[in-house]
Amino acid sequence: MKKIVRFDPTQTYLLKEGYCALIVPVDHPDSANVSNKSHVSTSMVLKIEANGAFETINTLYCPIHVI
């Protein structure tokens, strides 16, 4: 099962299927290695939902306004 991470959609760049996205996560569980305060690069985006949520190879990302 993939982990679910919330992100700030107002700070999102390059959200396109087939590419890595640049986002600011707000609750990434690996906070020792991933900043929850600055931009990070995701693994390749597989699918983008109409509500702004998206799936990568490793994770399901949900914009904070959706939860």
Residues 4-34 pLDDT 10s:
999 999 988 889 999 999 999 999 888 788 8
Number of domains in the chain: 1
Torsion, CA 56, CA 42, CA 54, CA 17, rounded to 10: -80
Q: What is the 3-state secondary structure (H, E, C) of the chain?
A: CCEEEEECHHHCECCCCCCEEEECECCCCCCCCCCCCCCEEEEEEEEECCCCCEEECCEEEEECCCC
- Give the residue numbers spanning the domain of 14: 3-63
| Full-model pTM | 0.89
Query: Which residues make Cβ contacts (< 8 Å) with residue 9, sequence separation at least 6?
Result: 52, 63, 64, 65
Confidence check: pLDDT of 67 > 60: no
Confidence check: pLDDT of 63 > 90: yes
